[in-house]
Structure 1
Amino acid sequence: MSHGAETEQQRLAALARYAVLDTLPERAFDRVTHLAARLFGAPIALISLVDQDRQWFKACLGLDTRQTDRSLSFCAHAILGDGVMVIPDARQDPRFAGNALVTGEPFIRFYAGAPLVTPDGFKLGSLCVIDPQPRAAFSAEDQAALTDLAGMVVSELELRFTKRELETEAQGRAQMVSFLRETQAVNEALLGVSTLTQLDLPPQDTAAFAIELVAQAAQVNWAALAAVEAGGSSALNMWNVTPAGQAFSDLMPRALPPGEGIVWSVAQGVEARYEQQYAALPGASEAVVQAGAQAIAWLPLGTYGGQAFVMIFAVLRPEARWSARQRELFEAAANVMRQAMSMREITRQAEASARTDLLTGLGNRRAFLEDAELPAGQLAVVDVDGLKVVNDTQGHAAGDELLRVFGQALRDGCPPGGAAYRIGGDEFALLRPGTDDGTLGAWVAGAVAAVHRAGFPDAGASFGVSQWPGGSEDHAAALQQADHRLYEQKRSRAPSR
């Protein structure tokens, strides 16, 4: 993407969209800088966001300031490129030799920065590591790892943005509830429904409790929640709000014929349906009419987990009609529930994306660190051998395919209770409970066989195994030991890459 004046304005607008500048420190971002500092042995690690006239640090390890002028910013240069910007010795680089951050505190010599690239391609800043001592090199593997960590930062920004959007929606729901305070009963019901959506309950349970609240406030005789499966089945959970509702429930089936009836048509759309005289409907059930059904309402609640939900209310009193107040209550409650279901789905997808390596579909380094409290067992750190040769001879697209096939094979061959992660460029981690009975070796061998079948006959894998403590123990030693044994294995045989 070019960096003309118009594009820079678009980049600044993208940065503003995240509403992150001048916010307080957050643990999720601080963890990334601490991890980067440990991984690369750097005393300074920063998450730098490049604003119009300054660079501001969302996370700042090793510096006492939270911002500097953009004219002094190394990261302002890093966002102009497409990859990691590496400066072995800033005093030898004419762009930075006279920079006040080089000639004075913090006396920058070595710098490596990976751009923070949004899903729509804008570079907000960089994740960088800094050393007051020059370094001769920063390997391709190091650059790949720094890029992965930068991707974790962007995932955190996306998750933070999504949560902020959902909070805005929640505020909108609160305003809607306030607007509809016509009676105390309606007010209490809507507040109850809104409160339910904030609880950590499965969406179907939330809907069930909400329907009970609304049914009481609307003074109906009977209510139900229909769950329509994509495969064709439909089930009803029913509540008898009054004794008259019991006879009505006795006549209603627990399962509905696939693809038939008003429930199915409402479930496929977004519009509610109100019938003031059910008996006058063509094809109305004679048994339901005899039970006294007068007015029936069907309202769609949206889809979650492959099911479409519809809430149903019925009044059995003679000459009953749906009032404007009842409709307002039904619509308000249904709107809150639809937003809640959508919010749950958006949050689930955002959290899953932030923990997933896009190339292989495995858990990423963040997922590995967050899953550290899995049961005690065995840890294997695995390195794909031959990746550099494939990249050099066949191109990086082929190298990506090698990693993708290897990762998918690890996922497909995962033993019960096990887990696989991609924690770096060509580095994977495997966890399994119990003691090593050869399963880890067979697991890795199966992945190697898969890449051979996929057209990479010279690729292989090295791995080191250590005991995984599980629980809340310090896992750094286990990771270090497995890594050490991995490189011992590499040294014990001729390298294949």
Structure 2
Amino acid sequence: MSGAPVPPDEAARLLDLAQYHILDTAREEVFDRITRLAARLLRVPVAVVNFVDVDRQWGKAMVGLDDTEAPREYSFCAWAILQDTPFVVPDATADPRFTDNPMVTGEPHIHMYAAAPLVTPRGHRIGTLCITDDQPHPLDEEDLRALQDLAATAISELELRSHVQRLQQQVGAQAEREADLQRNLAHAQTLEAVHELMDLPLSPEDSAHQAAGLIGQAIHADWTGLVIFENGKPHIQRVYGEADLHPLLFELANHLNLSDRSVTHTLKDLKAPFYLDVYREHPEARPAFIEAGLQAAAWIPLGTWQGKTFLMLTLRADQERELPWRGSDRTLLEAAGRSVRAALYERARMEASLESAREDALTSVLNRRAFDEDLEQCQSLGEAFTLALMDLDGFKGLNDTEGHAQGDKVLQLFAGALKAELQGQGKVYRLGGDEFVLLLPGAWAAEDVDEMVDVAVPAAQQACVSRIGASVGVAKAGEAGTCMELIKLADARMYEVKRRRKALRTERKV
């Protein structure tokens, strides 16, 4: 199964969706009525008004289901928004795009799916009115026209809802509307730039830092910073500050980093944007910042990466502005925040997948692929390192007499004991069979390596009756010109150890 491709107008489409502020809102009767009509007219058990977000589908109204939120890669609707005409899947179980989709193989079971895209007045397809059935359900042209009519009704209601919200927020002046249109165009370009930024080979921290800078400048914030929570404590970096800003606000990051309590300190678990239109009214507001002219602030969650949680903090210090955070500002902040979070999540998923590909399935230490990559990197850096190649003596006889299952337990115990002995000072790899290798930073004496192995062997011995041992060959960076030559050197030394041990055993028997 592969998810739907991303539409070419994705950035503008997401911005159009964001300006309705419809995502994650409560059920509304006007939209429920549309799904009830769709289910009744088209004689189906399930009808849904779905919106396609950056990384998920989310249902505003539905009949026959309690919830339709799902990853975008599983979404039928993500395919439906690729065209203006109705999208019909007569038999999902036979369609190669959906045969292994959890919505087809599990519950709810989709056999037939049909959807009409929700097309905004700006021409962007932000979601669908879709219907499904768990059995064959042919649709004729009249059925599809009815589905399109109801989808158009949903867009009309959405436009009306958005218009009412704008009126409630007293954004009605023609000059402001024209300015807002210009801002929307600029914000769409900013969001596109954020998307492109997320594709660059930057660290997550650098990506979030650069994104915060782009967004802060686009909304003309007086100060923008990146907040990084680690172990519950925030560290703030200034990304941008107006040159004429009060010195206390310009150096706000330093003051917050030295503080144990502030509004920011209370937001370590923030999941949704938090707007503070009147800063002085918050119980944790700092009197000194109020005196310096801080009027409003906004915190936007940007996602979590390897135990670090990222927020964007942006400030207003303009006392003349009646609306510190315009609707267009919030739209860009929220859409960009979701894009950054989705990019960090996808990066984490890909890295986890790559890391899994480097792990030995039996012993959970690193595998041959990881060893080849890491050894090449060590060699290219030109730093001192030690390579210790080893295999288990007597392992073949153990497998023959006690079975492979017992042999697997021995390998697991040996690998685990080696890893524990290293205490993070190096890496353990299983090359295959009973052959292992250590990559150790710096120059290690063969005796020190032997001591670790001498601890690991008795740990593995607990899983078997047969006597086992380990032969080790050690080689250091600089003793050979290439990676392959270094491995061969360690291998030769390992077999020399084996030869000497075998000769000693023979001598003792004689």
- Does residue 308 (structure 1) correspond to residue 309 (structure 2)? The answer is yes
- Does residue 255 (structure 1) correspond to residue 257 (structure 2)? The answer is yes
TM-superposed deviation, 1:459: 2.5
Is contact 1:251-1:287 (8 Å) kept?
Answer: no
Change (3 A) 1:201 1:245: farther
Residue in 2 that maps onto 1:340? 343
CA distance in 2 between partners of 1:472 and 1:443 (Å): 27
Is contact 1:220-1:315 (8 Å) kept?
Answer: yes
TM-superposed deviation, 1:383: 1.8
CA distance in 1 between partners of 2:389 and 2:284 (Å): 66
Change (3 A) 1:213 1:246: farther
- Does residue 382 (structure 1) correspond to residue 385 (structure 2)? The answer is no
TM-superposed deviation, 1:412: 3.2
- Does residue 355 (structure 1) correspond to residue 358 (structure 2)? The answer is yes
Equivalent positions of 1:404-423 (< 5 A) are: 404-414=412-422, 418-423=426-431
TM-superposed deviation, 1:310: 1.0
* Amino acid paired to 1:237: Q
Residue 326 of structure 1 aligns to a residue in which SS? Answer: helix
Residue in 1 that maps onto 2:234? 234
Equivalent positions of 1:54-73 (< 5 A) are: none
Residue in 2 that maps onto 1:158? none
CA distance in 2 between partners of 1:241 and 1:456 (Å): 74
Residue 436 of structure 2 aligns to a residue in which SS? Answer: strand
Is contact 1:365-1:424 (8 Å) kept?
Answer: yes
TM-superposed deviation, 1:315: 1.0
- Which is worse superposed, 210-219 or 481-490? 481-490
Residue in 2 that maps onto 1:133? none
Change (3 A) 1:489 1:369: farther
CA distance in 1 between partners of 2:470 and 2:362 (Å): 18
Change (3 A) 1:250 1:390: same
CA distance in 2 between partners of 1:308 and 1:206 (Å): 13
Is contact 2:406-2:464 (8 Å) kept?
Answer: no
- Does residue 399 (structure 1) correspond to residue 399 (structure 2)? The answer is no
Is contact 1:229-1:307 (8 Å) kept?
Answer: yes
Change (3 A) 1:470 1:293: farther
Q: How many residues align?
A: 321
Structure 1 gaps of 5+ residues are: 1-15, 20-121, 123-174
CA distance in 1 between partners of 2:365 and 2:200 (Å): 30
CA distance in 2 between partners of 1:312 and 1:346 (Å): 26
Equivalent positions of 1:154-303 (< 5 A) are: 183=184, 185-230=186-231, 232-238=232-238, 239-244=240-245, 246-250=247-251, 253-255=255-257, 262-303=263-304
- Which is worse superposed, 421-430 or 185-194? 185-194
- Cα deviation per residue 1:174-227 (whole Å; 9 max; x = unaligned)? x99xxx995453244323322332222221122122212211110111112111
CA distance in 2 between partners of 1:402 and 1:392 (Å): 14
Computed over aligned residues only, the root mean square deviation of the Cα atoms, in angstroms, reads: 3.8
* Amino acid paired to 1:333: A
Change (3 A) 1:203 1:274: same
Residue in 2 that maps onto 1:428? 436
- Cα deviation per residue 1:273-308 (whole Å; 9 max; x = unaligned)? 112222233443322222222221111111112111
- Does residue 448 (structure 1) correspond to residue 451 (structure 2)? The answer is no
CA distance in 2 between partners of 1:451 and 1:484 (Å): 21
Residue in 2 that maps onto 1:459? 468
Residue 360 of structure 1 aligns to a residue in which SS? Answer: coil
TM-score by length of 2: 0.54
CA distance in 2 between partners of 1:190 and 1:471 (Å): 49
- Percent identity over the alignment is 32
Is contact 1:225-1:311 (8 Å) kept?
Answer: yes
Change (3 A) 1:424 1:270: same
Is contact 1:381-1:483 (8 Å) kept?
Answer: yes
Residue in 1 that maps onto 2:76? none
- Cα deviation per residue 1:396-440 (whole Å; 9 max; x = unaligned)? 554333212211222233499754310112111234565854334
* Amino acid paired to 1:276: D
Residue in 2 that maps onto 1:323? 326
CA distance in 2 between partners of 1:437 and 1:392 (Å): 31
Is contact 1:271-1:300 (8 Å) kept?
Answer: yes
CA distance in 1 between partners of 2:431 and 2:182 (Å): 52
CA distance in 2 between partners of 1:250 and 1:484 (Å): 64
Is contact 1:356-1:363 (8 Å) kept?
Answer: yes
CA distance in 2 between partners of 1:417 and 1:309 (Å): 30
CA distance in 1 between partners of 2:277 and 2:345 (Å): 30
- Which is worse superposed, 470-479 or 443-452? 470-479
Larger Rg: 2
CA distance in 1 between partners of 2:465 and 2:331 (Å): 63
- Cα deviation per residue 1:144-201 (whole Å; 9 max; x = unaligned)? xxxxxxxxxxxxxxxxxxxxxxxxxxxxxxx99xxx9954532443233223322222
CA distance in 2 between partners of 1:456 and 1:266 (Å): 58
- Cα deviation per residue 1:246-279 (whole Å; 9 max; x = unaligned)? 4423466232766x65435543142111122222
* Amino acid paired to 1:255: N
Residue in 2 that maps onto 1:164? none
TM-score by length of 1: 0.55
Is contact 2:457-2:468 (8 Å) kept?
Answer: yes
Change (3 A) 1:281 1:197: same
